[in-house]
Structure 1
Amino acid sequence: MPPFTASKTNILRRFGRNRRGSAVVEFALVAPIFLAVLFAIIELALVFFASQILETVTQDTARLVMTGQAQDIKYTKEQFKDIVCAKLTVMFDCANGVSIDVRSYPSFAGVNIDAPIDAAKVFIDDTKYCPGKDGDVVVVRLFYPWPVFVPGLGFNLTNLANGKRLLTATAAFQNEPFPTPGVTCS
């Protein structure tokens, strides 16, 4: 008798009833979608967390300007950046990435802020440091180009041409009354 006696229809019937390995096939179909959603959630959480850290540091350092401490000590732009960088220790490469923009205006009506990204999706680094005198309206902005790790899959957080997202934190306030030393703008 030949070693193989089962008919072709019998083999197909047995193959159709066999459920071993179906979990592996189902997982292979669902896993890419599951992993894509998981990575998108993690990426979004990291961006929100980094944005919140940047906002907190902006509020903390802006307080130095608002109370006149930065003007009293006569911080330069580099010294003010050093203070910011001392607070951004965990998730940021401060020395190579953070840009600080401090501008003063005579009133809130005079505030004019341009978009930091041009039409070609390039960051315009036109930052200045002018903390103003007492009573001036000041806008402190911090910028950081955040690397985006999962740019595809229809969920794209990038807003810069180099595949990064420009995180921006802003504080706008009126300086408190303080004795005004010589204010230098750079």
Structure 2
Amino acid sequence: MPRAAHNLMLALRAFVRARQGATAVEFAFIAGPLLMLIFGILELALVFMMSTALESATASAARAIRTGQLQTSGGTKDTFAEAVCARMSWLGPACGGNLYVDVRTYDDFTSLKNDPAEGGNAFDENNTCWSPGGPADIVLVRTYYSWQIFTPLISNALVNSGTDRRLLTAVDAFRNEPYSDQAPTMAGC
């Protein structure tokens, strides 16, 4: 056997028997999946946190509709959206561009179950409505927030609205308080 081949065989045997870098090599094998798992958990936590914040902000802002404060002060869809965003101020200016509001009135609570809820890829912002109703009206308030998914490989599991976006929804249904003697306006939109 030529000397160069013999030296190569000795070097290969020494490399196979060596244990000094075994931990580094083993970590290199698991680092990718470990980091994806960590980022996936953080991404999912952000989605849940945002969903909870949206539900809380919607319920809090909807109180102005329920008490008639929004209707009597001339509130609009935009002022309601601003009220929801103000309760999620940690999002900053990004909130307004990603928040959609749908407020409808109904004749009775059984009509609510027949309402076609839109979500995910079926959502169309042009089909939203603004009808906060009057005293004693039954109102359904829905807010939608388009959340950006950051982790590339987990986005397939979380995306439901376009590319790298998750559409979060919050719903609040109630009967407006009798804040004046005006008759209910009944169903709108």
TM-score w.r.t. the length of structure 2 is 0.83
Could you tell me whether the CA contact under 8 Å between 1:98 and 1:144 is conserved in 2? yes
1:20-77: CA deviation from partner (whole Å, max 9, x where unpaired) = 1111110110000100101100100000011111011001011111112112212122
CA, structure 1 residues 77+10, in 2 after alignment: closer, same or farther (shift >3 Å)? closer
- Deviation per residue, 1:103-143 (Å, 9 max, x gap): 1111101124323247xx25311111111122221111111
Shift of the alpha carbon at 1:151? 4.1
Structure 1 residue 56 and structure 2 residue 47: aligned?
Answer: no
Contact 1:134 1:176 in 2 (8 A): yes
Aligned mate of 1:115, from 114, 117, 138: 117
Mapped to 2, the partners of 1:156 and 1:99 lie a distance apart of 23
Distance 1:128 1:153 in 2: 33
Pick the structure with more helix per residue: 2
Q: In structure 1, what is the Cα distance between the partners aligned to 2:41 and 2:181?
A: 48
**Structure 1, residues 123-167: CA drift from partner, whole Å, max 9, x if none?**
311111111122221111111110111242585200012221101
Aligned residues: 181
Alignment partners' CA distance in 2, 1:74 and 1:7: 89
**Contact 1:61–1:84 (CA<8 Å) still a contact in 2?**
yes
The alignment partner of 1:60 has SS state of: helix
Change (3 A) 1:182 1:106: closer
* Contiguous gaps of at least 5 residues in structure 1: none
Q: Tell me the distance in 1 between the aligned counterparts of 2:130 and 2:53.
A: 21
Partner of 1:141: helix, strand, or coil?
A: strand
Distance 1:58 1:144, change over 3 A: same
TM-superposed CA distance for 1:96, in Å, is 1.2
The letter of the residue matching 1:145 is: S
The 1:96/1:153 distance shift into structure 2, 3 A limit, reads: closer
What is the percent sequence identity of the aligned residues? 38
- Aligned partner of residue 146 in structure 1, secondary structure: strand
For structure 2, the residue ranges without an aligned partner over 5 or more in a row are none
